[in-house]
Amino acid sequence: MPPLREVFFLKCVKNLIFCAICLCVFVSTAASADINLPKPLKSGGMGVFSAIENRASGTRGAFPAGAISDEELSTILWAAAGKNRNGDGWTVPTAGGLSPYAVVYVVMKDSAYLYDPEANKLIGVTNGNVINNVTNDNFVKKAPVVLVFVSSTDSLGAMGKLNEGNALAYNITGAMAQNAYLACESLKISARYMVSMNADGVNKVLKLKKGHIPVAILPLGKR
Ligand X SMILES: Cc1cc2nc3c(=O)[nH]c(=O)nc-3n(C[C@H](O)[C@H](O)[C@H](O)COP(=O)(O)O)c2cc1C
Measured in whole angstroms, the distance separating CA 134 from the mean position of its chain's CA atoms is: 10
- For residue 57, state whether it binds ligand X (rule: CB under 6 A): yes
Among the residue ranges 40-48, 54-62, 88-96, 204-212, the one whose residues contact ligand X (CB under 6 A): 54-62
Report the residue from 13, 56, 119, 162 that binds ligand X according to the rule CB under 6 A: 56
CB contact at 8 A, 107 and 208: no
Nearer CB in complex with ligand X: 99/178: 178
Question: Got the DSSP string for 46-111?
Answer: S-HHHHHHH--PPPSTT---B---HHHHHHHHHHHH-EEGGGTEESS--GGGPPPSEEEEEEETTE
- For residue 167, state whether it binds ligand X (rule: CB under 6 A): no
CB contact at 8 A, 218 and 68: no
CB contact at 8 A, 217 and 184: no
- For residue 60, state whether it binds ligand X (rule: CB under 6 A): yes
Question: Which x/- pattern, by CB under 6 A, does the window 174-193 give for ligand X?
Answer: ------------------xx
Report the residue from 27, 161, 195, 209 that binds ligand X according to the rule CB under 6 A: 195
Binding-site ranges for ligand X (CB under 6 A): 56-57, 60, 192-196
